[in-house]
Amino acid sequence: MCSGRVDLAHVIRAFENGMDGVYLGGCRLNECNYITHGNYDALAMVLLARRILQHIGLHPERLRIEFMSSADGMLFAEGVNDFVRTVKALGPLGRAEGLAPGEVAARLAEVRKLVPWIKLAKRDKLAARLTDPAGREGHFTAEEVAALFREVPAYYIDPQKCQACRICAGRCPVEAIDGGKQRVHVIDQERCIKCGTCLAVCPERFQAVTCFVGVPPPPPPAEDRRTPVRRKKAAAAP
Amino acid sequence: MDRVAGEAGDFTVTLLRKPRYVLEEKCTGCTTCVEYCPALCPDAFNQGLSQSKAIHIHYAQAIPLIAYIDDSCLYLKERKCRICEAVCKNRAIDFRQKPETLAVNVGAVILAPGFEPYDPRESGRYGYGRLANVVTSMDFERLMCATGPTEGEIRRPSDGRPPRRIAWVQCVGSRRVTPGENRYCSAVCCTYTQKQVILTKDHDPEAACTIFHNDVRSFGKDFERFCERAARLPDVRFIRSYVSIVGETAGSNVVVRYATASEGVREEEFDLVVLSVGMKPPAEAARLAERFGIALDPSGFCRVDPAHPLQTSRPGVFVSGAFAGPMDIPESVFAASGAGARCGELLSRRRGRLARERVFPPEKDVAAEEPRVGVFVCHCGANIGRVVDVPATVEYARGLPHVVYAQEQLFSCATNCAKEITAIAREKGLNRLVVAACSPRTLEPLFRDTLREAGLNPYFFEMANIREHCSWVHSLEKDAATRKARDIVRMSVARASRLEPLKEFTLPVHKAALVLGGGVAGMTCALSIAAQGHLVHLVERGEDLGGLARRLHTSLDGMDIPARVRDLAERVYANPRIRVYTRARVVSAEGYIGNFLTRIASDRGESEIRHGATVIATGADLYRPAEYRYGQDGRVLTLLELEEAIARGEERVLGAGRTVMIQCVGCRNAERTYCSRICCSAAVKNARRLKELNPAMDVCILYRDMMTYGFREEAYREAAERGVRFIRFEPERPPRVEAVAEGGASVLRVVVDDPVLGRTLAMDAGVLALAAAVVPAADAPEIAGLFKVALGPDGFFKEAHVKLRPVEFATDGVFLCGQAHYPKHLPETIKQAYGAAGRVAALLANDTVVASGAVCEVLERRCIGCGSCIAACTYGAIRISETKAGPKAAVNPVLCKGDGLCNAKCPTGAIVLKHFTDEELASQIDAAADAAASETLNRKAG
């Protein structure tokens, strides 16, 4: 595995576990022994993760990436020692930032749930090869990350339009859509990863899925009110 | 080597083996003996700059990593001591060993004794050995090295102070006619000096570095860029001057005298002077030559015929590396592979006869079982044991979830311990194993075999590194180290419990090769592969075989190129195992290692070729100059056109009163930041020839740096002696060429600023020859795309690794040789072609290839077909195909390299890198945090 295998979710998981700092070591940039150069992917991920930490009120210095070869033992030792000093100076996660333990956990859990959406929304920028050091710090901006969190979409199936065709339920990658043959489908917002597959696959003639941004979607219909409203074939033709 | 008898195919070589006094099968390389040994001696590996012991390991990366006892041993000298015997817990010391004579029966011999660095004391000119702060580049290399005498801190010998002003003196022992030095160029020193400068600046950004040089010979692939990188660093000066070492100051600084065109003669003080020493033949060259009955050249290196550069004068005895003359590491590596190919040609009918297959018991299916983890904690002699509390770690492991067995071992890697692991795994019904020892880099393969012996899937293994990651780096903090060892073991156990059995799959190998390009590289490679018993499809884009070499006539080293090319082509056409396709074009290429399918359109019509290996030998093109009136004035030719005109005996060329040559036309500039490597030698060759044919002719070569490296230096010197004029120009002020009307005739006038004389010279040329750059072949991007291989920044094909894999691509099963890789001389091309053939034969010799089990796979249910994974994969291993449930990604496991970038990019967790799954990695993260939690508890309790 390559340093580019390290997932944003792994970093968040470490912090959720109460780690005060996370340090990533990758090969020296531009010295990939393959043609992968995945350390650039790791770098972009770290830059984004640092902005996210900042966004949720945690010190971005708690996450660091450094690049070295297997012969750079001293560099590694110095890098880790310096990082440990930095994190110790910051103090325990959350407490240093003036956040209650429950609050830190809640914010991190929120980020964890959004990791799939973040990966999709920032897909191109996460794959960027930031060869110019000058362009790294500004690659992701605080404003951009704030917007990212502001604009989290929510998908909603209109009970008036859903024909219970089961296509979206079948294609949802995380099985977040509940719905039988004769029942209006409902998205479990807790499980939904906001990939938009349901919107993409809902047949054109039904258009039952809507994307809400910035406002919460209406609540789903009650269990006993999920009988589909059948479209009349005749009505379909003008 | 004592003596050799017999002939090619059947030699008997008598070897004399000195006693090591250490039993190889018992020594584990733990170095406890070294620590206790009282006999100090200078460490030869560290250039005598530090002390070693009588019992020691040659150097940290030695293979095998086993100790030996040398002559400074007190017991061997005076029958005293034997401490090592007492401290070796594995009883590996054996003072009863005697010298052994062994006779080995071999079919072929490769001589690779290397070279020896030049010792500046031989000339007595540089103060080396007299002035403390004059060191050789070999000394300096050790001073910079993390495993060197100063642990990577650069300190000067006189007072241990870090030097701030460092001077490098180039060409020490090379390119000189003074007694005690060598006439040839050592070819590697310019670039290694630049490397040392860059590393010095890395160590100490304040250091001022000065390089006193003659020509800067940056003729290798990527060397020019490297040189520019060094020159751009702050406080780095390149000064073109000979120097003399004047002496030292009271503070042991070294005084150097040099001269520049602008400032005349100067003296300057340096804290440290590094002599960039060249290469000498190995000390044993003469003895080796005598015993083997092979010829040496006048400088004492192995004599080779340029057309057969891997062959000594005795059939069946081959040569690789710098024993055949100065060369750098990439060339040594492909020459080594090439020498292997030459042996393969001789012995291919006997290939595999001595091979034995290891048979493992059948694998048990443990899928339904609960994880039953066994933990083995290694003492590594004293390496781990004296820092980490091993028994306590074992005890701790016993309490971890899923662990049903734990024990300690002295050396887990020793044969008896590995057997013990196998036996216990069977007896206790273990289905997952954790060995807490050293780095998995060296020993993971060994332990995977241990699992196979126990009938377990080899991927049910996890190594906890408590040596490099723990005992070695925390040797002074025993309690903390023991806690960390527990953490590491806990994380490994957590991961081991979640490991899944993986299948390494075998792929059949289609035993044929496709060689693209019918030049000298392609033909040489094809002939060698065919001689090793495999079918070759040789594909040439032109009408006939021969490539660029068909236009060459002579070479500096005296090769009859037309005869050589004819001979190669005839042998190719006559070879029943080679099928030639001329006027051919690759239509499509698909497949992977062992199983390629390529469609070719050629004179034979459309052909579909199945092959197991691909060689790209598509050569290079020549730059068509846009400068110096080329194409406007018939008197302006390229060097190659000049060579052809000389060969045709054209009077306008042979009868010219003056021929001027301009070097570096179209390269070593902003657009092409590389040296074309061959043009300086071509200029010297043609200048020499013109002087032979018309001694009255004035021949001028306008150059920037003469790249006549290696033995070509002699020809350069000889040309100058014969009156060829070499005039250097600065790149900022290139020569100007104009056609001037004078006395009713048009005169071709070349004007150049000579920085040495400080004058502008004007000369009228009868013929002007331009050293036009070698440029990447026009179809290189297309070929690269078809075969999914990479091009470098200059547009030449990019090998997998400059030094370690110089004829391979990162794409398995595709190989590279000749000028497609980079411009090179014919002997180098031939060596590289054999090198590629050696790699191809190594692949085709197998019936199957094994692909790793740790590759990616797609859980289709979760895939939304977004394509993030495809963008992340540099190997083209992922495709999206339309299914009933929409577009879904699929991985071709053969192409997957297991980097896992796709896994990190996938929003839904649909693509999974096996053996490094989210679940496995998360279990380690959670287990790591467990300790954090318990430590917090401890802190609170305390």
Q: Which of A4, A6, A17 is closest, CB to CB, to B929?
A: A17
Q: Which of A37, A73, A120 is closest, CB to CB, to B866?
A: A120
Could you tell me where the DSSP H helices lie in A122-226? 123-126, 142-150, 167-171, 197-201
Q: Does A6 touch chain B (CB under 8 A)?
A: yes
Element housing B373 (H / E): strand B373-378
Q: What is the mean predicted confidence (pLDDT) over B605-629? A: 97
Q: What is the mean predicted confidence (pLDDT) over B872-899? A: 92
pLDDT of B278 strictly over 70: yes
- Is residue B206 located within the same domain as residue B125? yes
- Is residue B387 located within the same domain as residue B469? yes
- What confidence score (pLDDT) does residue B441 get? 80
Residue A216 is given by DSSP the state: P
Q: Which of B473, B886, B907 is closest, CB to CB, to A195?
A: B907
- Residue in chain B closest to A116 (alpha carbons) equals B907
- Residue in chain A closest to B929 (alpha carbons) equals A17
Model confidence band, residue A33 (pLDDT cutoffs 50, 70, 90): confident
- Distance between terminal CA atoms of chain A? 58
Digit-coded pLDDT (tens) for B79-121: 999 999 999 988 999 999 999 999 999 999 999 999 999 999 9
- What confidence score (pLDDT) does residue A123 get? 95
ipTM of predicted assembly, 2 dp = 0.94
- What confidence score (pLDDT) does residue B124 get? 87
Model confidence band, residue B850 (pLDDT cutoffs 50, 70, 90): confident
Percent residues over pLDDT 70 in chain A: 97
Q: Does B146 touch chain A (CB under 8 A)?
A: yes
Q: Is residue B9 part of a domain?
A: no
Where does a domain end: B748, B774, B800?
A: B774
Digit-coded pLDDT (tens) for B216-246: 999 999 999 999 999 999 999 999 999 999 9
Where does a domain end: B774, B792, B816?
A: B774
Quickly tell me which residue has 């994969």 as its tokens. Answer: B873
Beta carbons of A171 and B886 less than 8 Å apart = yes
- What confidence score (pLDDT) does residue B937 get? 40
* Chosen from B899, B924, B940 to mutate, greatest number of chain A CBs within 10 A: B899
How many structural domains is chain B composed of? Answer: 6
Digit-coded pLDDT (tens) for A42-81: 999 999 999 999 999 999 999 999 999 877 777 898 999 9
* Chosen from A1, A33, A87 to mutate, greatest number of chain B CBs within 10 A: A1
Element housing B478 (H / E): helix B478-498
CA–CA separation, B453 and A37 (whole Å): 37
- Is residue B534 located within the same domain as residue B581? yes
Digit-coded pLDDT (tens) for B150-187: 877 899 999 999 999 999 999 999 999 998 999 999 99
Distance from CA of A183 to the nearest CA of B (A): 21
Digit-coded pLDDT (tens) for B179-189: 899 999 999 99
Residues of A in Cβ contact (< 8 Å) with B906: 119
Q: Does A24 touch chain B (CB under 8 A)?
A: no
Residues of A in Cβ contact (< 8 Å) with B863: 173
Convert B831-877 into a string of H (helix), E (strand) and C (coil).
HHHHHHHHHHHHHHCCCEEEECCCCEEECHHHCCCCCHHHHHCCCCC
- Residue in chain A closest to B885 (alpha carbons) equals A171
CATH number at residue B896: 3.30.70.20
- Is residue B697 located within the same domain as residue B714? yes
pLDDT of B535 strictly over 50: yes
Counting one residue from A and one from B, how many pairs have CB atoms under 8 Å apart? 121
- What confidence score (pLDDT) does residue B233 get? 95
CATH number at residue B477: 3.40.50
Q: Does B152 touch chain A (CB under 8 A)?
A: yes
Cβ atoms B855, B890 nearer than 8 A? no
Q: Is residue B2 part of a domain?
A: no
Mean pLDDT of chain B: 94
Q: What is the mean predicted confidence (pLDDT) over B472-497? A: 95
Could you tell me the two tokens for B505? 């799959």
Beta carbons of B900 and A1 less than 8 Å apart = yes
Digit-coded pLDDT (tens) for A81-95: 999 999 999 999 999
- What confidence score (pLDDT) does residue B940 get? 39
> Domain map of chain A by residue range?
3-150, 153-236
pLDDT of B825 strictly over 90: yes
Where does a domain end: B280, B310, B342?
A: B280
pLDDT of B938 strictly over 50: no
Residues of B in Cβ contact (< 8 Å) with A41: 872, 901, 904-905
- Distance between terminal CA atoms of chain B? 67
**C-alpha pair distances (Å), B627 with each of A231, B217, B777:** 77, 24, 21
Quickly tell me which residue has 């520049």 as its tokens. Answer: B260
Residues of B in Cβ contact (< 8 Å) with A5: 899-901, 903-904, 913, 916
pLDDT of B723 strictly over 60: yes
- Is residue B666 located within the same domain as residue B571? no
Model confidence band, residue B59 (pLDDT cutoffs 50, 70, 90): confident
pLDDT of B753 strictly over 70: yes
Digit-coded pLDDT (tens) for B789-805: 889 989 999 998 888 89
Beta carbons of B908 and A116 less than 8 Å apart = yes
- Is residue B47 located within the same domain as residue B121? no
**C-alpha pair distances (Å), B822 with each of B219, B621, B832, B885:** 10, 11, 11, 48
Please report the residues numbered 430 through 489 in chain B whose beta carbons come closer than 8 angstroms to any beta carbon of chain A: 473
Q: Does A9 touch chain B (CB under 8 A)?
A: yes
Digit-coded pLDDT (tens) for A155-207: 999 999 999 999 999 999 999 999 788 899 999 999 999 999 999 999 999 99
Q: What is the mean predicted confidence (pLDDT) over B910-919? A: 97
pLDDT of B770 strictly over 50: yes
Which of the two residues, B378 and B354, has the higher pLDDT score?
B378
Distance from CA of A5 to the nearest CA of B (A): 5
- Is residue B783 located within the same domain as residue B749? no
pLDDT of A238 strictly over 50: no
Q: What is the mean predicted confidence (pLDDT) over B904-929? A: 96
CA–CA separation, B455 and B160 (whole Å): 57
* Chosen from A3, A10, A13, A17 to mutate, greatest number of chain B CBs within 10 A: A17
- What confidence score (pLDDT) does residue B846 get? 92
Question: Which CATH architecture best describes the domain A153-236?
Answer: 2-Layer Sandwich (3.30)
pLDDT of B934 strictly over 60: no
CATH number at residue B272: 3.50.50.60
Beta carbons of A38 and B908 less than 8 Å apart = no
Distance from CA of B466 to the nearest CA of A (A): 16
Residues of A in Cβ contact (< 8 Å) with B903: 5, 7
pLDDT of B931 strictly over 70: no
Could you tell me the two tokens for B818? 């000749």
Which of the two residues, B672 and B932, has the higher pLDDT score?
B672
Model confidence band, residue B365 (pLDDT cutoffs 50, 70, 90): very high
Q: What is the mean predicted confidence (pLDDT) over B550-570? A: 93
Looking at chain A, how many residues does it have? 238
Residues of B in Cβ contact (< 8 Å) with A76: none
- Is residue B234 located within the same domain as residue B151? yes
Beta carbons of B913 and A1 less than 8 Å apart = yes
Beta carbons of B871 and A8 less than 8 Å apart = no
Find the domain containing B545 and state its range: 512-619+777-847
- Is residue B904 located within the same domain as residue B799? no
- What confidence score (pLDDT) does residue A237 get? 45
- What confidence score (pLDDT) does residue A233 get? 59
Q: Is residue B79 part of a domain?
A: yes
CA–CA separation, B888 and B885 (whole Å): 8
pLDDT of B195 strictly over 90: yes
- Is residue B670 located within the same domain as residue B593? no
pLDDT of B897 strictly over 50: yes
Residues of B in Cβ contact (< 8 Å) with A202: none
pLDDT of B936 strictly over 50: no
pLDDT of A235 strictly over 70: no
pLDDT of A234 strictly over 60: no
Q: Does A19 touch chain B (CB under 8 A)?
A: yes
Distance from CA of A238 to the nearest CA of B (A): 31
Q: Is residue B359 part of a domain?
A: no
Could you tell me the two tokens for B395? 């005890």
Beta carbons of B903 and A5 less than 8 Å apart = yes
The torsion angles phi and psi of B532, rounded to 5 degrees, stand at -95, 10
Q: What is the mean predicted confidence (pLDDT) over A118-142? A: 95
